[in-house]
Structure formats: structure tokens, C-alpha cells
Chains A and B, each alone.
Chain A
Amino acid sequence: MHDAGKVIPGIIAFVLFVTVPFWTNFGKAAPKPQPEIPKEYKKCVESKEFMRREHMKLLRKWRFDVVRNNMRIYINSEGKPINMSLQNECLRCHSSKKKFCDVCHDYVAAHPYCWNCHIPPEERKGWATKEVKSLTEEASSEQPASHH
């Protein structure tokens, strides 16, 4: 080891460099997400704890029941019938996707694609912002999306 004097500080500097994000965040926890709970409704479909942990599984089951089995009504653990619909039932109480869904999803970097099709309350007014004419021009100037 002729160059130990250079190699070892080099290794130390390298290790310090790649762990920079760790040191800069050391001791600082990101604030806990605070989704906005609707005030005028006291109860969700199931208990808060259940919804927090299982809402994705519940929605998945709903989707299966509605689309595949033509069942539209969910009976919750209290025996109350509930219309199985994200867009028309969940969002009836949760009037903001930004202040509710996104808060936790962003925190854990989850990107569910519900909203590619389901319309969040914020977007009920629509998206047709551009003039049809400019869209036509844009569309026809493009290559067909695929030649595969």
C-alpha cells in the first residue's frame, strides 16, 4: 500500500459524499401527513382504522363487484347499505382529492391511477381548455401514436 495516504482519505471522502442526503436530513422527520377529514360527516364506510389500512383493498373489491358481478350495494359491518362508487360515493363526503387522497399518497410516494379515469371533485368542470381547432391541428400534425 504505497498510496494509503491518498486512498484512505479518498474512500472516506467518497463515503461521506454518497451519504450526504442522509446527513442533511439527520434528525429531521418529515411532518406527518394530515389529510382533511370532512366535518359534516361523522362516519366513513367502515371504521377509521380499517379505512386507513384497507381502503385500497376495499376499493378493489368494490370495483370487482360492480364491474364483474353487477353488484352495486355494499353492506358494511353495521349492516348499512352503501353504494359502491369511488366517484359518486366516496367523493360525496371527501370533497377534495388534493386535501385528502393526495396528502398521504404524496407522503408515501404512492401513485394510484384511479384519477386517470375517475373524475376528482376538483376537475368536475372539465378539461376542454383548448379550442377544438388548435387541437385538430395539433392532432393531425402528429404521427399516428404507434406503428408497432
Chain B
Amino acid sequence: MVIDTRVCQKYAPCEDCIHACHHLHNVPQIPYKKHEVKWIWKDEFEHAFPDTAHEYANEVLHGREFLLLCNHCEHPPCVRVCPTQATFKREDGIVMMDMHRCIGCRFCMAACPYGSRSFNWRDPRPFIKNPNPRYPTRMKGVVEKCTFCTERLAEGKLPACAEACKHGAIVVGDLADPNSEINKILREHFTLRRKVHLGTGPSVFYII
């Protein structure tokens, strides 16, 4: 996935992608920060790229907000630590969760360096205003995160966030295919990935 952060900045404070994802996947809106659940959200440069940010950084970066979500890492530490294999990596590279198996130990949350995972401290259902009846919710005591819309990919659709963006800021494609659109974009633009030095191999790229 490539996110063109210039486009996001241009149309700020647009959050269509976030609303689409959270509505579709019945992600609860819990106002109490400590119990918050999120699959995709925004944060500033210093928090998204703490190892790249410095006090003399280019000014445009200050106002810009960066969409953050699970990076579907090539070497996902969350998968390595999960004792139940509730979190696993699919053959196509998507880091997926089997909610039926999650025991809520939260090892994965400790292992993920990107804060991509949320724990259900409470029953999420009272916080889902307008549930999508075609998708399940989660229950108290499990961890959840972005699934790269596996249920949509299976139907040949794009991830909901990419589809929801009217401005085309989110492009999804096959990194393994050198001729794919996404590889072309990566060749032609300067991109950053989050905390690459940790060796997780994040698969979400940011055009700066």
C-alpha cells in the first residue's frame, strides 16, 4: 500500500478512509482514550516517524497528518509472539487474525512497534452506533487490527479505505510483481516506511 500524504494534506481534515473502514468493520467509537479501538487513524510526523523526525525538519511536515494502520510486515513480530497462532501471515503477505483463537494475552501488542493493535477492554457493542450487519463485531478480551480487508479482496474489491478515498491518496497493489502499478509508483516517488531499522519490513509506504 502506498499513501500519498501530500494528497491527504491538501484535503485535510478529510477522514473518509477512516470512517469507511471503521463503519464497515464495526470498529467501536469509544470516547475514553484508554479503551480506544482503532484500525486506521491519523498522527503527526514526529509520532509516525520518530526516528526520522528532528527539530530542523522541513516545515511542511509539521502540519501534515499521516494515516497509520497495520503495516502487514514482511517479518511481523506480532506473529512470532502469538502463542495461539491467532495472528498469522497469509501466503500473500497479509497479516491476518483469527478472532476465534485470540486469548487476549496482548503479547502481539507489546511486539508490534507501530501501535497497530487495540485491545477490547470492554464489550465494544454499545459503542457501535450503526453496525454493519454483514460483518461481525469483536468481544471483550480480544485484540483487533486492520485485516487488509481480506473479505473484500476475496470478492475482487479494493480495501475499503482505498476505495473510500475520492482523491486517490491510497494505492494498493502487489509488491512482488515488478510490473505492478504500485512498484511503478515506488520507483518514481520518494517514500518513507515507518521504523524500517527494526527489520520488520513494513509494507505501507508514504509519499512525502
A binding-site residues for B, Cβ under 8 Å: 63, 67-68, 70, 72, 87-88, 113, 116-119, 124-130, 132, 135-136, 139-140, 144-146
Contact = CB atoms under 8 A, between A and B. Distances in A.
Interface string B25-45: 000011110110000000000
A72 B100 CA distance: 17
B58 interface: no
Contacts of B31: 132, 135-136, 139
Given A67-B98, A67-B100, A70-B150, A87 B136 contact: yes
Q: Is the interface of A mostly helix, strand, loop or mixed?
A: loop
Given A68-B88, A127-B125, A139-B35, A63 B134 contact: no
Interface residues of B, number: 31
A119 B90 contact: no
Nearest to A60: B100
Contact of B121 (A87, A119, A125, A144): A144
Q: Is the interface of B mostly helix, strand, loop or mixed?
A: loop
Given A67-B100, A70-B154, A139-B31, A128 B127 contact: yes
Nearest to A138: B32
B193 interface: no
Given A63-B100, A136-B31, A119 B136 contact: yes
A55 to B, nearest CB: 16
A145 B136 CA distance: 23
16 contacts: A67-B99, A117-B99, A119-B131, A125-B131, A126-B128, A126-B130, A127-B128, A130-B126, A132-B29, A132-B31, A132-B127, A135-B30, A135-B31, A136-B31, A139-B30, A145-B121
A37 to B, nearest CB: 22
B13 interface: no
A71 to B, nearest CB: 9
B157 interface: no
Most buried by B among A117, A129, A144: A117
A139 B124 CA distance: 12
Contacts of B138: 117
A46 to B, nearest CB: 22
Contacts of A70: 90, 92, 150, 154
Given A127-B128, A128-B129, A145-B122, A139 B32 contact: yes
A40 B182 CA distance: 48
A126 B29 CA distance: 13
Contacts of A144: 34, 121
